[in-house]
Amino acid sequence: MTSTAGPPPTGGGDGERQRLRLLAVTACPTGIAHTYMAAEKLARAAESRGIDMKVETQGSIGAENVLDDNDVSTADGVIIAADKDVDLSRFVGKRVLVVGVAEGIRHPERLIEQVRSAPVHTASGTASATAAPTGRERSVAYKALMNGVSYMIPFVVVGGLLIAISLSLGGHPDPSGGLVIPKDSFWMDVNNIGVIGFTLMVPILSGYIAYAIGDRPALVPGMIGGWIANTGSLYDSKAGAGFIGAIVTGFLAGYLVLWIKKVKVPKFVQPIMPIIVIPIVATTALGLFFINVIGKPISWVFEHLTSWLGGMTGTSAILLGTILGLMIAFDMGGPVNKTAFLFGAGLIATGNQAVMGMCAAAIPVMPLGQGLATLIRQRFYTEQERETGLASLFMGCFGISEGAIPFAAARPAQVIPANMLGGAVAGAIAGLAGVKDAVPHGGPIVAVLGAVSGVPMFFVAVAIGTAVTAVTTVALADVSERKRHGAPVGHGVSADEPELALVGAGVGTPGAGGVVAERASRGGTATVGSAGSSTGAAAAVETMADAGSAGIDSANSGSANSGSADAEGAPGSGSGSPAASSDPEIRPGILPEALPEVPPEVLSGYLTEQTVKVGLDAGDKEGVIREMAGLLARTGKVVDVEELVATALRREAQGTTGLGEEIAIPHAKTDAVSAPVVGFARSAEGVEWGSLDGTKARLVFMIAVPEAAAGDEHLRILALLSRKLMDAGFRERLSAAEDESAVLGVLSEVG
């Protein structure tokens, strides 16, 4: 919450007006490129106006250049350029402007002007304050949903896999129905632990959606609301509302807390508002509202769906299987899913096992289909999603439909229709073939354990339904991508966030980042707020190293083609020193001038005159990548040109590698190359690369490293490049070099 109180005290202290002092905090969801690009842009804009500014970056390697109490006390204003929650409690009494991180990159000058008249943040303000008008309200809800999904995923994976393992190793079909694990066995304990993980999954989703909206006071009502939503017995329903109910309670809790925070209360009550009053009031109100208002319709739906299905038992098996498949796939554990499941399970005791056979074929389709989709269109998914997809495949084999919930929660418009279509197909085929299931469970596991009759057609139904779900998901994702003009699809990689990480290298993995790279090269503490010290593009290049898992200090230690030694002209550096040469044709007494000119070595020889081109022929991104892949192939280190191109294009689909300042660095980690190789080319007209600052790429580097060399070595390459690309003069010399030889001479400054 902010107010329009008068201006806060400024940092003079001696009665004489000092230079304006501003602070900034930049952060993006992944903490890779935009965090540092925004910091550099803001610092440079402040320096150009004679304003002192210190910028704290909250990147994937943690907070850097942290603002201390003294910084805050003397500040005249604070700019928060972030796409994730930033704690504002330390800025009470200061003018605070909250915008998205993209605004810090695109319009830093405007933000500096706006912060001077921004509202003053008060003690009752929320730590995730509403963005300024320049932000987009839609992104608030999206970020909240993604926050909940990201916290939920580990619970889904751990709970689901433990249940699956316990069923596969300790379970057996019981004549009375169901897959049974002996109560006193070790595997029952494993199963119980997994059930706890699944039980917590829905409240976690709800709680962290609420937290992203209303901060800590919203966490308790969000989690308790999610638990209530998932516990149907509290509102006379045999099935809870599942993950859809959790999304509802999460948003209700978050916005309810925001509303309560706006209520004016006496000053003596304010300290206990966030820890006692708000959580109690919000939790009670939300819980009673869900039980007495929302819960009743859910119970009504459950009862009437069950009654309706009961009247269909004599109808066409194909139609019934289609309807049951649609219901099973709709909410994966919610009232609609449970209605179909319990209907089928209840008929087993009457001797009708065909209905459960339809349900059993549909149950695994959602997790199997979504897992398959992550394999056939990897570029649509983040690294975390692809890992979740593998776990989803495993859970699908054991009939755990909840494995698909993270995908449905993240992209409901794409995933739920695809799930329903695949489930309907699987149910219809099972109904047509007369598949029967003797136990109230689904998935391939029941067929393996002998509970299914008509096993071949059961697997046919599952396989076709899975394929339909996967293909439909990919098709809908592709449509969505085209609508966004080629923007990447995937909640972990936004269209505005160029995550500069090698494909498969672990995007966002905590590790050495750009600030660490700078620190390693200078031995000092990085201060991003040092205005004019580097360009936004260079900062972004440095942060490419955030995708790695190793400290970048090793890049300068001499352990792997030491860049430091090369830069200093040590032996083996290729610096041109005759004394350092091991050429057997060189004899003592021969003047250096008489020696043939030795081409300078760049990046330990990975970049040579063979891989330099002063004029690109292609005019689009894909064409440039293909042209540069051919350039790298001149070295003989490219085993498969097409695979190299495909890998680089998949990386581009995850997020643009256009850094701004007319620079692009496409890159790939692939065994299509046998050794690290780097190329450089220039484009006179510039190539549209999707750079955030809108500039076309004229200076293009391409990096390719084999899988085995993707750790320290690619970090070292990026670190060396980043140090030089911070130098505007270096970029000017690179642009002005007349031919490949001259270009290589300039690039030799890299090391």
Q: Which residues are catalytic?
A: 28, 667
Strand, coil or helix: 173: strand
CA dist 299 and 335 (Å) reads 8
| Cα gap 537→692, rounded to integer Å | 10
- Half-sphere exposure in the Cβ direction for 649 (13 Å, CA): 17
Q: Which residues pair with 680 in a beta bridge?
A: 612, 701
Would you state the structure tokens that stand for residue 282, as one six-digit string?
């919000």
**Which among 423, 497, 417 is positioned nearest to 461, based on CA atoms?**
423
Please, are residues 104 and 45 in contact by the beta-carbon 8 Å criterion?
Answer: no
Return d(Cα 444, Cα 63) in angstroms, integer: 47
Planar angle of CA 408, 496, 410, nearest 5 degrees:
5
Q: Tell me the β-bridge partners of 62.
A: 59
Of 80, 82, 76, the closest CA to residue 97 belongs to: 80
User: Which one-letter amino acid corresponds to residue 651?
Assistant: R
Collect all residues with Cβ–Cβ distance below 8 Å to 215 and sequence separation of at least 6. 85, 126, 127, 128, 257
Q: Are strands 658-660 and 663-664 parallel, antiparallel or unpaired?
A: antiparallel
Task: Compute, in degrees rounded to 10, the torsion defined by CA atoms 349, 352, 355, 359.
Answer: 40
Nearest partner of 86 among 134, 121, 136, 115, judged by Cα: 121
Identify the residue whose tokens are 């309907």: 424
The answer to whether 651 and 657 have CB atoms below 8 angstroms apart is yes
Query: Using N-to-C axis directions, what is the helix angle for 641-654 and 621-633, rounded to 10°?
Result: 140
CB 692 within 8 A of CB 487: no
Q: Quote the CA–CA distance of 181 and 326 in Å, as a whole number.
A: 30
Burial letters 416-446, b for 16+ CB under 10 A, else e: bbbbbbbbbbbbbbbbbbebbbbbbbbbbbb
Q: For the beta carbon of residue 81, count every other beta carbon within 10 angstroms.
A: 30
String of DSSP letters for 699-711:
EEEEEEE-GGGTT
**Separation of alpha carbons 679 and 573, rounded Å:** 19
Q: Is 593 exposed, middle or buried (0-12, 13-18, 19+ CB in 10 A)?
A: exposed
Distance CA(428)–CA(104), nearest Å, equals 53
Residue with tokens 């280190």: 637
- Are 124 and 273 in contact, with CB atoms under 8 Å apart? yes
Return d(Cα 401, Cα 381) in angstroms, integer: 20
Helix orientation angle between 514-522 and 536-543, rounded to the nearest 10 degrees: 100
| Exposure of 151 in the CB half-sphere (CA atoms within 13 A) | 21
Phi/psi of residue 22, nearest 5 degrees? -125, 150
Q: Which residues of 634-645 are buried (b: 16+ CB within 10 A; e: fewer)?
A: ebebbeeeebbb
What's the chain's Rg over C-alpha atoms? 30
What is the spatial distance between Cα 747 and Cα 486, in angstroms, rounded to a whole number?
33
Buried b (16+ CB within 10 A) or exposed e, 242-263: bbbbbbbbbbbbbbbbbebbee
